[in-house]
């Protein structure tokens, strides 16, 4: 690591450092409760994803930035705990723009206009982890992706193949909805009370027709978890609820209430 007159860069063989030994990103961007130096953490993460596992083409620059940004959250989870890590991730939500896909075109030295490959990409990984719901499998995926492609190159399909192999499931549509399209999945729902029952209808509004992800609803504070895909599904509950809403916690998506 070499002190430099600019903020920082993950140059292979010598990370440039210019954060003036301040908290966060020159004293900003990162919530004050986290006293670490963002540049040291982020650029060091690039020694794994970026400088060792390098993207085959700049259209997959997210492999550097999404993983390095998610590794910040994993560092916090390790040293400060899971709740602190969730607060850190929540602080990134405001930076997500959803105006361009994270997957860029190949062969054109692609450069993204937004920082979605950092924050939204990090949230895609967090959403994927919380959909897989098995940290043994999740960390095996991260390690295997690293070990298979270290000191080498990887592209989007290499990562998807590893995820599908270790989950024994097909997460292609899931990853594509977050990275191939500009908009994240949207939970669309409506509810109706008739014949002494509540009818709750919901679906994932997505470009990827094969997308699926579980959804949790709060029914007057009571949590109910259900599987959901892009087809409307109606579930019946034998009572009336004052407030019905999807729980948005550890997965990233938009919400749309009909009626």
Give the Cα separation of 67 and 75 in Å (integer): 12
Give the Cα separation of 37 and 130 in Å (integer): 27
Judged by beta carbon, residue 40 or residue 183, the one nearer Zn ion is: 40
Nearest approach in angstroms of CB 186 to Zn ion is 28
Nearest approach in angstroms of CB 148 to Zn ion is 22
Judged by beta carbon, residue 142 or residue 244, the one nearer Zn ion is: 142
Nearest approach in angstroms of CB 33 to Zn ion is 22
Q: Which two tokens stand for residue 123?
A: 């949230």
Judged by beta carbon, residue 112 or residue 247, the one nearer Zn ion is: 112
**Are the CB atoms for 22 and 39 separated by under 8 Å?**
no
Nearest approach in angstroms of CB 42 to Zn ion is 5
E strand segments, the chain: 2-3, 8-9, 16-17, 53-55, 152-154, 186-194, 197-205, 215-219, 222-226, 233-237, 244-246, 254-257
- Binning the chain into helix, strand and coil, the percentages to the nearest 5 are 35, 25, 40
Nearest approach in angstroms of CB 154 to Zn ion is 16
**Are the CB atoms for 53 and 63 separated by under 8 Å?**
yes
Binding site for Zn ion (CB under 5 A): 65, 68
Judged by beta carbon, residue 29 or residue 197, the one nearer Zn ion is: 29
Nearest approach in angstroms of CB 122 to Zn ion is 11
Strands 16-17 and 8-9: antiparallel
Q: Which residues, in sequence order, are CB contacts of 251 under 8 Å at separation 6+?
A: 126, 127, 130, 131, 213
Judged by beta carbon, residue 65 or residue 158, the one nearer Zn ion is: 65
Sheet architecture: strand order including 244-246: 222-226, 215-219, 244-246
**Are the CB atoms for 34 and 55 separated by under 8 Å?**
no
Which residue's structure tokens are 């989007």? 156
Judged by beta carbon, residue 102 or residue 200, the one nearer Zn ion is: 102
Judged by beta carbon, residue 8 or residue 185, the one nearer Zn ion is: 8
């Amino acid at each position: 690591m070499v002190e430099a007159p600019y903020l920082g860069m993950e140059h292979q063989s010598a990370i440039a450092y210019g954060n003036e030994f301040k908290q966060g990103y020159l004293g900003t961007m990162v919530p004050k409760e986290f006293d670490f130096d963002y540049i040291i953490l982020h650029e060091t993460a690039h020694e794994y994803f970026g400088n060792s596992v390098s993207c085959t083409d700049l259209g997959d620059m997210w492999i550097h930035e999404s993983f390095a940004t998610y590794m910040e959250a994993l560092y916090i989870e390790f040293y400060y705990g899971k709740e602190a890590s969730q607060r850190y991730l929540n602080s990134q939500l405001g930076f997500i723009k959803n105006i361009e896909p994270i997957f860029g075109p190949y062969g054109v030295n692609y450069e993204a206009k937004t920082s979605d490959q950092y924050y939204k990409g990090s949230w895609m990984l967090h959403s994927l982890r919380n959909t897989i719901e098995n940290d043994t499998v999740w960390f095996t995926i991260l390690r295997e992706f690293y070990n298979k492609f270290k000191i080498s190159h990887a592209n989007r399909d290499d990562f998807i193949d590893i995820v599908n192999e270790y989950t024994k499931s097909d997460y292609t549509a899931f990853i594509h909805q977050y990275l191939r399209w500009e908009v994240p999945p949207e939970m669309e729902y409506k509810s109706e009370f008739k014949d002494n029952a509540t009818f709750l209808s919901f679906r994932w509004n997505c470009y990827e027709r094969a997308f699926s992800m579980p959804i949790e609803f709060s029914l007057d504070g009571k949590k109910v978890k259900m599987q959901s895909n892009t087809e409307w599904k109606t579930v019946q509950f034998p009572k009336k609820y004052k407030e019905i809403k999807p729980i948005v916690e550890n997965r990233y998506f938009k919400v749309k209430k009909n009626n």
